[in-house]
Chains A and B, each alone.
Chain A
């Protein structure tokens, strides 16, 4: 079931591009059908996100945390761990960075130090949350997909309570913690747009993930663990590799939360992660678990968000349009990846625990656990 691997890279990319194109056509049809002023809606959805430098920069800024989550998702997926907890990892990261800034503000610490500590705290918080799932799998064989999702749901509830109740700024009308002092926010790169250092930071995260996967021994071990766990065990690759990738994935999710707080939002707000973890996972899947391909995919998602926002402001589109479009894009791209493989070999690819188009050696990875213990 290694269909996708046998296909040349170019044809895979072409199939993916075709699927994305189809998603756009669907988006256009939807925008035209759902609106009483189709032309206006089309313009708002497709063109207005690029209408000005301001709009473009905002779009890039909004893509940054998605990309950080996607880079993390790529690491986990490559190792065969389906990390469904990106949302919660981002939430605890956001809270950790906000708390770190609040703690350091009275000390008058230098901005560089404060931001570094906040980012570190966020990454650590996300990493711990993800590690719990990885450790649970290592110890008791608990399914990472389940535990990461459940832990994440619990974490989101806890973070919402902390941000909206326990640590809420007094006298504020928002369910939010205090603003991050301007000095401690990520440097703005193109005021008045919201573009900040979050964008280059997330690009760096994606490049580091790419380097680890493509250019290191750890990358090979992650790759082999994800493709075939039994094989990995047989050649002496430790199950820790998988845990490590999962933990790193959580760290990047946490980082995404900090990029939100210190970047575009400027404070921790209840419910602020708003699907960034899910978007990151979708982006990673659309990009075929390639961190570099995740960059345009994250921008694509951000564009859909911006288009839907503009469409609801300028025309009469529902702001939910972006969710529909994202779902269509994810569906079409993964269908193209799986379907392409199935068409060639005449059977469907198993996608358990890995990137949809790089289905590994066998679906029943779980069955191996009993016999290799």
Chain B
């Protein structure tokens, strides 16, 4: 029986100018475990949020049990039976599981007083009935990550009912924990619930899901029964296959073959960093003159690698060497000016100071070059900034705040600052984000040029296309471990995505 039917959902975000959902339709039947897969930015989370009433679609209809749900209303979605567990926990850590389940619809005594006992009983019923292994009286802050996930799903059940929408329920779980969670979801489906869950780990869904819907660029490209699909087909559907990269001979799997060089060598050496708990430590090396890309889906250690390699976080074990010098022991100010360029993936937080002028953003690394009088007269500064900005076709007065620039221009401003000159190591996290086609090409040209000038360039990206466009070599991470190293020439996006998704079947 069809419990949920979404038709023609379209959602456009004017701020980022992205069409996140473009006429997406989805149908969920009772007893069905439905996986929604796709690359980052494919529109999976937006779809989930639209169905859950957290986003108002520009057009399209959501119906639960044949009754139309008012768009953009969480309350209506919940009363129609749609429960949602987001990627980022909504649980209040200071409250018990039962209290969290009751939040917003608290059972009352005599219509006034909060009844903690009733809340506990209601939570215990859900826990008991669906076999959750959590104590309803336990404080959420005392739960393990896996237990919190269970509580999250129990909350979705308590608030919604028969329809569950789960955004990346397994992204932070270990394999065993994920398996246990899927057992749980299977039991719920067997009890008649309709469950949709988002993931980009293709490997884990094949044996679990009944149906798989693949999203790409905001559209549904395929929706098939899991029994009729295999991993490689799904991975292929997730990516737009680029032409002219067909040379599978040059793709090779690696165990420990990630190139290692002596610690004294020039370039960037990553030695024994543990990116994900329980993962084997990662070592890799970026040589001067080459562009190395590391690519992974969210939750597989890319963010951690960025934090360590940029020196923003000191690793607990292992070390990061720049030209043989331990990042932890070096003076960060000088290092950043002379040896390490770093374009952060979280641009608005680490990459750009929005409220400062374009000039100050552009010159932030060159601040040692100017004398005090320059700052007063400012002509030299403005000139220097204008040169950098003009070079990257950034439209805007250098004395205006960076916040007046569009996202693409801010990204170019960030790249203008960091690619201003060759440095020993150039660390670029999601360097092409927000760029249009022309800027992408320009940025790619510059990144290659700066490598040719002798920089060791490390690109971190969750986009396989970006990795293949920019890099000489590509390493893919899965659960914090390098699972594939390959020359970019001739590598197939589909193979990389398959490995990023945890499949062992590539090449």
A1: B residues at CB distance < 8 A: 355
Min CB–CB distance A290 → chain B (angstroms): 15
Q: Are B332 and A215 in contact (CB under 8 A)?
A: no
Complex: how many Å from CA A371 to CA B263? 27
How distant is the Cα of A219 from the Cα of B365 in the complex, in angstroms? 14
Pick the interface stretch among A118-126, A223-231, A250-258, A267-275. A223-231
CB distance from A240 to the nearest CB of B (A): 10
B residues within 8 A CB of A36? Answer: none
| CB pair A217 B368 closer than 8 Å | yes
Q: Are B307 and A371 in contact (CB under 8 A)?
A: yes
Contact B312 A234 (CB under 8 A): yes
CB 8 Å contact bits of B295-321 with A (1 = contact, 0 = none): 000000000000100101110000000
- B349 near A360 with CB under 8 A, answer no
Q: Is the CB of A361 within 8 A of B354?
A: yes
Interface residue ranges of A1-53 to B (CB < 8 Å): 1-2, 5-6
Chain A 225-250 against B: per-residue CB contact (8 Å), 1 yes, 0 no?
A: 00110111111111000000000000
Known A215-B375, A234-B344: A2·B332 in contact at CB below 8 Å: no
Q: Which residues of A contact B349 (CB under 8 A)?
A: 228, 230-231, 361-362, 368
A5 in contact with B401 (CB, 8 Å) = yes
Q: Is the CB of B375 within 8 A of A214?
A: yes
Does A265 sit within 8 A of B, measured CB to CB?
no
User: Main secondary structure on chain B at its contact with chain A?
Assistant: helix
> Which residues 331-386 of B have a CB within 8 angstroms of A?
332-337, 342, 344, 348-356, 360, 363-365, 367-368, 370, 372-373, 375-376
**Contact call A6/B401, Cβ cutoff below 8 A:** yes
Nearest CB of A to B60, in Å? 26
Least Cβ distance of A55 to chain B in Å?
37
Residue of A nearest to B348 (CB): A361
Neighbouring B residues of A279 by C-beta, 8 Å: none
Residues of B403-420 contacting chain A, CB below 8 A: 403-404
> Is the pair B376, A214 in contact by a Cβ cutoff of 8 Å?
yes
Give the shortest distance, in Å, between A187 (CB) and chain B (any CB): 31
Q: A5 and B375: CB pair below 8 A? A: no
| CB under 8 Å from chain A, chain B span 384-405 | 401, 403-404
**Residues B355 and A221 in contact, CB atoms below 8 Å apart:** no
Q: Which of A180-197 contact B (CB under 8 A)?
A: none
Q: Which of B342, B372, B401 contacts A215 (CB 8 A)?
A: B372
Q: When the two chains form their complex, are residues A224 and B376 in contact, meaning their CB atoms are under 8 A apart?
A: no
Contact residue among A217, A237, A238, A361 (Cβ-Cβ distance under 8 Å from B355): A361
Residues of B within 8 A of A211 (CB): 376
Report the separation of the CA atoms of residues A236 and B336 in the bound assembly, to the nearest whole angstrom. Answer: 6
Q: With contacts A5-B355, A6-B401, A371-B312 known, is A234 near B350, CB below 8 A? A: yes
Residues in chain A near residue B314, CB distance under 8 A: 373
Residues of A within 8 A of B332 (CB): 236, 238
Contacts of B373 on A, CB cut-off 8 Å? 215
Inter-subunit contact B367/A220 (CB<8 Å): yes
Which residues of chain B are within 8 angstroms of A372 by Cβ–Cβ distance?
A: 312-313
What chain A residues lie within 8 Å of B337 (beta carbons)? 236
- Chain B residues with Cβ under 8 A from A238's Cβ? 332-333
Given A6-B403, A234-B350, do A227 and B312 touch, yes or no (CB 8 Å)?
no
Q: How far is the CB of A306 from chain B (nearest CB, A)?
A: 35
Interface residues as binary, A202-221 with B (CB distance below 8 Å gives 1, 0 otherwise): 00000000010011110111
Closest A residue to B402 using CB positions: A2
Q: How far is A235 from B342 in the complex, measured between Cα atoms in Å?
A: 8
Contact A371 B351 (CB under 8 A): no
Q: Are A6's CB and B335's CB within 8 A?
A: no
Decide if A358 touches B355 in the complex (CB within 8 Å). yes
Chain B residue nearest in CB terms to A354: B355
Least Cβ–Cβ distance between A78 and chain B, in angstroms: 12
Contact present for B310 and A234 (CB under 8 Å) = yes
Tell whether A217 pairs with B370 under 8 Å between CB atoms, given A2-B355, A362-B349.
yes
Chain B residues within 8 Å of A236, by CB:
332-337, 365
Residue of B nearest to A359 (CB): B355
Determine how close the nearest CB of chain B comes to the CB of A217; give it in whole angstroms: 5
B333 and A230 within 8 A (CB): no
Are B372 and A227 in touch, CB under 8 angstroms? no
Instruction: List the A residue with the shortest CB-CB distance to B340.
Output: A236
Chain B contacts of A214 at CB under 8 A? 375-376
Task: Evaluate contact between A231 and B360: CB separation under 8 angstroms.
Answer: no
Who on chain A is nearest to B338 by CB?
A236
Return the chain B residue nearest A358 by Cβ.
B355
Query: Distance in Å from the Cβ of B107 to the closest Cβ of chain A?
Result: 34
Report B-chain residues with C-beta under 8 Å of the C-beta of A358: 355
User: A361 near B375 (CB under 8 angstroms)?
Assistant: no
A56 CB, min distance to chain B CBs, angstroms: 32
Chain B residues near A235: list those with CB within 8 A. 336, 364-365
Contact residues, A326-371 vs B (CB, 8 A): 358-362, 368, 371
Quick one: which of B334, B356, B365 contacts A227, CB cutoff 8 A? B356
User: B336 contacts which chain A residues (CB < 8 A)?
Assistant: 235-236
Top 5 closest pairs, chain A to chain B, by CB: A236-B336, A2-B355, A5-B401, A234-B350, A2-B403
Q: Pull 9 A–B residue pairs with CB atoms less than 8 Å apart, ordered by A.
A: A217-B367, A223-B356, A233-B312, A233-B350, A236-B334, A238-B332, A361-B355, A371-B307, A373-B313
Sample of 9 more A-B contacts, CB < 8 Å, known A6-B401, A231-B351: A217-B368, A217-B370, A220-B364, A224-B360, A228-B353, A238-B332, A361-B353, A371-B307, A373-B314
Q: A residues engaging B (CB < 8 A)?
A: 1-2, 5-6, 211, 214-217, 219-221, 223-224, 227-228, 230-238, 358-362, 368, 371-373
